Amino acid sequence: MADEKKRLLTGLQSSGQLHIGNYLGALKRFVGAYADYESMLMVADLHALTSVKNPAQLREGIIDVVADYIAVGVDPTKATIFKQSDVLEHPELAWIFECLVTVPFLQQAHAFKDKVAKGLEANAGLFNYPMLMAADILLYDTDVVPVGEDQRQHIEYAREAAAKFNLAYGDTFKEPKEMILEGVGTVPGVDGKKMSKSYGNTIPLFGTDEAIRVAVMSIKTDSTAVGAPLNPTTDITFQLHQHFTPNLAEIQKRYMDGTIGYKESKELLAHNIIATIAPMRERRAALSREAVIQILKDGAEVARARAQAKMKDVREKIGVGLY
Ligand code: ADP
Ligand code: TRP
């Protein structure tokens, strides 16, 4: 029965063009997990506002996050997809939590400390960021929160906010657990370092066939002569084959026999990446902006109804709900 399913919620900030590292490390795992839960996928546009000051960029970022997730296989009829700014109960509850936690507690947040250490402007939104995230999670009685390792502390903050509220006003919020997405390890970029948009070494997820081919052909290799055996353990192309190539054992054998060269290996890899991605790209292209907007509108209604019911209880408990 649907009611017996545990609740899952995650929030996503738009972070520009996705690469295959994002897909293998985060999106694919999420797609594999969300249908077992009553899932909510939230676009964290108010969180994005702590750094994005360009309205057009924020707007496109929202649409892109939704389109990306639908393209990789999230079924909008199986998950509630909505954006944070459509449910005003999020900032309302964040404020209530902010009145329960101390400044030194928030000063310990790694994400905040990192930004300050980098000399970035520490706006008050960034400082309060963990309490808005706690509100996102706690409003919906969430059981599990799939996130990357870097968000672990934020989930601890959410548990702390729940505990503080429950202690002050009585049992109201469930303490959520993080579901740390791991497994594929670090996907290497074309230069062998972690694939990351900040290193400019990515293979784009939704690029054209040509863009994918160009990126794959630029993968760094050593100067082993054609016909000599290649070492699959150290070769970057082979590491990527592991995620995209069905007949891996055969390729491995050809590496060791010296019957495949880097050029052929890369061509094969590009072909297999394109074959994996093509259906996703088609789904993305078939999805109109209007369809994305409709998904967000429908999701907002579902989220709002749940959030409002929860906040009625919260308002009564804290003493502002008179009527
Ligand atoms: P980037 O390093 O390109 O800025 P993000 O930090 O926005 O990527 O990553 C978003 C998510 O994608 C991370 O939480 C992580 O799980 C996943 N991810 C990013 N790069 C990789 C990679 N090279 N290998 C595996 N997973 C990755
Ligand atoms: N802070 C998260 C990130 O940058 C995004 C986020 C916002 C989130 N609200 C959330 C994640 C609630 C999980 C649950 O990745």
Predicted structure pTM score? 0.89
Q: Which DSSP state fits 184? A: S
CB atoms closer than 10 angstroms to residue 140:
22
Domain ranges of the chain: 7-186+289-318, 207-283
Interatomic CA distance for residues 67 and 63, integer angstroms: 6
23 compared with 184, residue with greater pLDDT: 23
Q: At a CB cut-off of 8 Å and minimum separation 6, what does 238 contact?
A: 230, 232, 251, 252, 255, 265
- Evaluate: CB of 44 within 6 angstroms of ligand 1: no
What HEC string does 39-72 produce? EEEEECHHHHCCCCCCHHHHHHHHHHHHHHHHHC
Q: What is the pLDDT of residue 95?
A: 98
Inter-axis angle of helices 289-318 and 89-98, to 10 degrees? 40
Structure-model confidence comparison of residues 73 and 197, the more confident one: 73
Mean pLDDT of 161-169: 98
Which residue's CA lies nearest to atom 1 of ligand 1?
A: 196
CA distance 143 to 33: 14
pLDDT above 80: residue 15: no
| 115 in catalytic set | yes
Instruction: Say which ligand is closest to the CA of 18.
Output: 1
Give yes or no for residue 47 CB within 6 A of ligand 2: yes
For ligand 1, whether the C-beta of 197 sits within 6 Å is: yes
Identity at 112, one-letter amino acid code: F
CA 65 to ligand 1 centroid distance, Å = 14
Task: Indicate which atom in ligand 1 lies nearest the CA of residue 185.
Answer: 25
Q: How far is the CA of 11 from the centre of ligand 2 (A)?
A: 4
Q: How confident is the model at residue 115, as a pLDDT?
A: 84
176 lines ligand 2 (CB under 6 A): no
Q: How many helices (H) does the chain have, and how many strands (E)?
A: 14, 5
Q: How far apart are CA 9 and CA 27, in angstroms?
A: 14
Can you tell me whether residue 230 is helix, strand or coil?
A: coil
- Tell me: the pLDDT tens digits for 248-291? 999 999 999 999 999 999 999 999 999 999 999 999 999 999 99
pLDDT band at 297 (very low <50, low <70, confident <90, very high): very high
Tell me which residue has its CA closest to atom 6 in ligand 1.
Answer: 196
175 and 142 in contact (C-beta within 8 Å)?
Answer: no
At the topology level, CATH places domain 207-283 in Tyrosyl-Transfer RNA Synthetase (1.10.240)
| Contact (Cβ atoms closer than 8 angstroms) between residue 14 and residue 197 | no
Domain 7-186+289-318 class? Answer: alpha beta
- pLDDT of 279 reads 94
- Average pLDDT over every residue of 289-318: 98
Q: How many CB atoms lie within 10 A of CB 169?
A: 17
Please give the distance, rounded to the nearest whole angstrom, from the Cα atom of residue 312 to the centre of ligand 1.
38
Split at pLDDT 50, 70, 90, the class of 3 is: low
Q: Does residue 127 surpass a pLDDT of 70?
A: yes
Query: What is the reported pLDDT for 122?
Result: 86
Confidence check: pLDDT of 316 > 70: yes
194 catalytically annotated: yes
Domains 7-186+289-318 and 207-283 share a fold: no
Report which secondary-structure segment, H or E, holds 221. Answer: none
Cβ of 15 below 6 Å from ligand 1: yes
What number is the average pLDDT over the span 12-21?
A: 86
The pLDDT of residue 183 is 63
